[in-house]
Structure 1
């Protein structure tokens, strides 16, 4: 991207991109389509983005940056010691932080909905998982804890995947279902999931 970011212009381009994602899909849209829908000329578009692929990537990058900032700023320990047992790993996801992240998603639902339905593109989902993993590691390091090799017999990397996949999948399903529930209701589901064995959900 060249030059200083023009927030108003980029907001128009994002809105155009989101609308076209829903009406035409990413593969069918062109830069001309985006520029026309945004009410700008192609030259203005190219002042900000290389092409539609660069636009999509920057939008995803910006979204992940925003979510990371929200989760990190609102995930302090509140004076509690965090260890690397299973419970402490779950405590890395503070309910307040998750709630604020969910409000961010709901407020920009059209974009998240468009991205989540863009064919096989699961980049946003995968990167959300990575943010959650980084949050857990950062919380542990903050208190000088060394990662364990396993948790109740489950290798650490699998345990991490189980936890972040559960949280990410709940959020992703919420988006795909239209964000019908409130962020607080989804937070409650995530909190309940921390202490609920998968088999208990089925029986």
Structure 2
């Protein structure tokens, strides 16, 4: 873990993140150095090391912070504290509310340069897998706050497979959106996700 600074300096960290984002795109992560980052951020190396161990620690902390933010947006926006009565028609799809998805997408769009850089324009799938984990956590959080016992089958599909199918579909839509430059609005992507919930894969191209 990186040495803890006596007081979190968000301005400095923002400068470091901006420098990191630019350098990943212009120089590449493998060839950039801490000196490069410090120079681009307008700080000295000592200041960098007050916050991070090395460039690998920086990248990991940036990813962790991003995942924490997305988790907060997706999980908290669903208002799981409000008890609900499970309906027979409910499914794992109900965990994904347009309100929370839209906020998460807007977060990504607002910070597109970083998402594009950290994912290597969508070619590095590590962030994609992290996002899938966030979606799974959202489903599990919702399930815990339902009054009835969790289902073990959804339309004849075991629950764990149903969850994987759902989160993979949502994550794939979001990931393609990032690879395409977040051209569509968050609302447009939400609509695609909503339609995907009720459209069988075999029917999409017909």
Provide the TM-score with structure 2 as the length reference: 0.92
Which residue does the alignment assign to 1:176? 179
CA distance in 2, matches of 1:192, 1:119: 23
Tell me which of 118, 121, 125 is aligned to 1:122.
125
CA distance in 2, matches of 1:161, 1:201: 19
Whether 1:16 and 2:19 are equivalent positions in the alignment is yes
Whether 1:139 and 2:136 are equivalent positions in the alignment is no
Whether 1:62 and 2:36 are equivalent positions in the alignment is no
CA distance in 1, matches of 2:109, 2:126: 19
Mapping of 1:34-183 within 5 angstroms? 34-76=37-79, 80-82=84-86, 87-117=90-120, 121-183=124-186
Shift of the alpha carbon at 1:183?
0.4
**What CA deviation, in whole Å up to 9, does each residue of 1:36-90 have, x standing for no partner?**
110111111000000000000000000011111111221126775346x774311
- Please, which moves more after superposition, 135-144 or 188-197? 135-144
CA contact 1:148–1:156 (8 Å) conserved in 2? yes
**What CA deviation, in whole Å up to 9, does each residue of 1:2-28 have, x standing for no partner?**
212210000000000000111111111
- Please, which moves more after superposition, 58-67 or 144-153? 144-153
Change (3 A) 1:66 1:82: farther
CA distance in 2, matches of 1:28, 1:169: 30
Shift of the alpha carbon at 1:202?
1.4
CA distance in 2, matches of 1:123, 1:149: 29
Aligned length in residues:
202
CA distance in 1, matches of 2:89, 2:151: 10
Structure 1: gaps (5+ residues): none
RMSD over aligned Cα, in angstroms?
1.8
- Please, which moves more after superposition, 147-156 or 93-102? 147-156
Poorly superposed stretches of 4+, deviation over 3 Å: 77-80, 118-121
